[in-house]
Amino acid sequence: MTMLDRMRRHRDWLKWSLGLVCVAFVLFYIPDFLRGSGADAASGDTVAKVEGREITSADFRRTYQAQLQAYRSAYGGNMNDQLLKQLGIEQQILQQMVDERAALAEAERLGIKVSDEEVRQRIFAMPAFQENGGFIGEARYQQLLRMQRPPMVVSEFEDSIRHGLAVEKLRGSLTDWLSVNDKDLEQEYRRRNDKVKLAVVSFTADSFRTQVSASDPEVSSYFDAHKTDFKIPEKRKIRYLLVDIEALRAKTVVPAADIEREYNNSSEQYTTPEQVRASHILLKTEGKDEAAVKAKAEELLKQARGGADFAELARKNSEDEASAKNGGDLDYFGRGRMVPEFDQTVFAMQPGAISDVVKTQYGYHIIKLVDKKAATTRPLAEVRQQLNDQLAYQRAQAQAADLAQKLEKQISKPADLDKVAKAQGLTVQESGFFARDEPILGLGPSPEAANKAFEMKTNDVSGALRASRGFVFETLVAKQDPRDAKLDEVKERVREEVVKQKARDLSKQKAAEIAAKLKSAPDFEKAAKAAGVEAKTTDLIAHDAPIPDLGVAPAVEDAAFALAVGAVSDPIATDNGTAVIKVVEKKTVTPEEWTSSKDRFREELLTDRRNRFFSAYMAKAKAKMKIEVNRESLQRAAS
């Protein structure tokens, strides 16, 4: 008997329904509750174990399919299984599942329990199981679970709710003590929402590199003064056996029938939906007399239809800053990109037509359709080679994972590398010495293999490690302790630093020469142009936003928010050179905005801090847990 069988005692308030209740909310309420017995032969395979808690292939596949459905709901049909694989989504999903089971293991260790009553109340509160303010009843509840594809088992669904509540309780017990005072809250809100618009003249160091050089005496002098900056870190050398995915891919033949099947299964990936190119004029209504705004829109429409230049009307009147400067041009876009009222209007128009005034949540629009492109599908012949390469690589990955899993059982000591290599027709190679953050000769960037090398003792042998080229087994053969460098070993690095420093100094000098003129000039942009440089104007930007030619520049940002509107800065040194800025406009948070946003932002900030605290806590907790991943099963489950 399930827990909900005992709900019969509540029949006096249960509301039965003949209509269908949408269960989309249920499907994604806790993505990992989508477990079932599975129908395929490999459904019982164990993909991973966390403190003895299994993640089976069936668990993984159902969660994967639920995630795929969620992506399709959010992004449309173009988000398919093939694209998700290219994005490595299976690794992300597995990590989420591992994290969930680790949290359950930690909750169990701390004695956190969830009662039947708590599970019952959570299910009763879920909108998918309510109608007219009440629970839909046990029979309908079970029916809705059976209607899912694949069907959901009631007891497993309820266990999943229990697991979700256990994780919630764990998070609460660990993070509910966190708080934020009003002063810090307001300071952070203003930091995120105060904005500034700048005119920026930048003198990047790179633009001066061709004007400077570094002589040998300068290099030697700089090295003597900065020896600690060029210290040689600890290095290690390994012998390794590589299961090379690319080598396997080159030998893989994909049948034409498989390519055609994959094309048919993922044809939406090769379909470009109908697109239009439109321009618009937007008159915003927020805080304004709506009737007056509409009247102005009607007048502009009359002018546009009377032959006036639409682009010029948009430049002078549109309040959509991003498009107004381009004559209202919105470029090409597909269905669903715009708000519904705009979308419905523009896709019903023909090129050259100008719409009536269209009301949306943003205000009143006048739309001109510039062009329309019909939906197109790339033929199989055009994408056959691409599909062949994708399928060959997927199969090579699966073969490599299978072989690595097999070899892992045969390799336990250094001599086994040579024995296995000879039997498999592979080669054992030796790397040069490498630092922890350097690529490994023959393997390229392989953080997992590099980190393992720095954890091993001499003659230890690793299990299968993921590398950029495939799977690698390694043994540590030599170490080099950190030491001071000799100039000859790092001479070019030192020379590069000297050149960078000279280029930065030259950028400061040039900025200093021009800064006085820019400060006193009535027109900042014209003065910059007269001096042979360009002043680039930003949009309204918040803290931490990138600045043209400079990227994220904290020193420029600090000066920008400290200066008054119209003020021009002194030269400001940055990592990339030097800048002089003028504050064009500022938009600060109003007392009314802060008051209306305070409670919501407190919750947002607390949630963020609690999430980060919980993640840090669980990272330490997982480090003490036994977590095993079966790559072979994962590869099969994700294929």
C-alpha–C-alpha distance, residues 480 and 320, integer Å: 61
Q: Which residues contact 459 (CB under 8 A, 6 or more apart)?
A: 413, 414, 475, 476, 477
For residue 334, what pLDDT is reported? Answer: 86
Least confident of 19-28, 211-220, 262-271, 315-324: 19-28
Q: Is the pLDDT of residue 20 over 80?
A: no
Whether 191 and 498 have beta carbons less than 8 Å apart is answered as: no
Other C-beta atoms lying within 10 Å of the C-beta of residue 68 = 17
Q: Any long-range contacts for 592-597 (C-beta under 8 Å, 24+ apart)? A: 593/193, 594/186, 594/189, 594/190, 597/189
Is the domain of 40 the same as that of 152? yes
pLDDT tens-place string over residues 335-349:
878 888 999 999 999
Q: Rg (Cα) of the chain, in Å, rounded?
A: 32
Single-letter code of the amino acid located at 441: L
DSSP letters for 392-449: HHHHHHHHHHHHHHHHHTT-SSHHHHHHHHHHHT--EEE---B-TTSPBTTTBS-HHH
| pLDDT category of residue 482 using cuts at 50, 70 and 90 | very high
Is the domain of 77 the same as that of 133? yes
Other C-beta atoms lying within 10 Å of the C-beta of residue 184 = 11
**Average pLDDT of the residues in 530-558:** 90
Total domains present in the chain: 4
Is the domain of 103 the same as that of 163? yes
Q: What is the pTM (predicted TM-score) of this model?
A: 0.58
Is the domain of 28 the same as that of 66? yes
| pLDDT category of residue 502 using cuts at 50, 70 and 90 | very high
Is the domain of 544 the same as that of 448? no
613, part of any domain: no
C-alpha–C-alpha distance, residues 157 and 141, integer Å: 11
For residue 72, what pLDDT is reported? Answer: 62
Q: Is the pLDDT of residue 141 over 60?
A: yes
Is the domain of 29 the same as that of 167? yes
| pLDDT category of residue 79 using cuts at 50, 70 and 90 | low
Whether 562 and 568 have beta carbons less than 8 Å apart is answered as: no
593, part of any domain: no
C-alpha–C-alpha distance, residues 72 and 78, integer Å: 7
For residue 265, what pLDDT is reported? Answer: 82
Full domain range(s) for residue 206: 195-212+488-587
For residue 152, what pLDDT is reported? Answer: 77
Is the domain of 28 the same as that of 72? yes
Is the domain of 93 the same as that of 239? no
Percentage of the chain with pLDDT > 90?
A: 60
603, part of any domain: no
Tokens of 254: 């994909």
| pLDDT category of residue 42 using cuts at 50, 70 and 90 | very low
Q: Cα dist. 279→352, 364, 539 in Å?
A: 11, 14, 21
pLDDT greater at residue 294 or residue 144: 294
For residue 149, what pLDDT is reported? Answer: 59
596, part of any domain: no
Is the domain of 39 the same as that of 130? yes
Q: Is the pLDDT of residue 26 over 60?
A: no
For residue 536, what pLDDT is reported? Answer: 92
Tokens of 587: 């938009």
Looking at residue 313, which CATH number applies to its domain? 3.10.50.40
Looking at residue 556, which CATH number applies to its domain? 3.10.50
| pLDDT category of residue 22 using cuts at 50, 70 and 90 | very low
Q: Is the pLDDT of residue 43 over 50?
A: no
| pLDDT category of residue 76 using cuts at 50, 70 and 90 | low
DSSP β-bridge partners for residue 373: 275
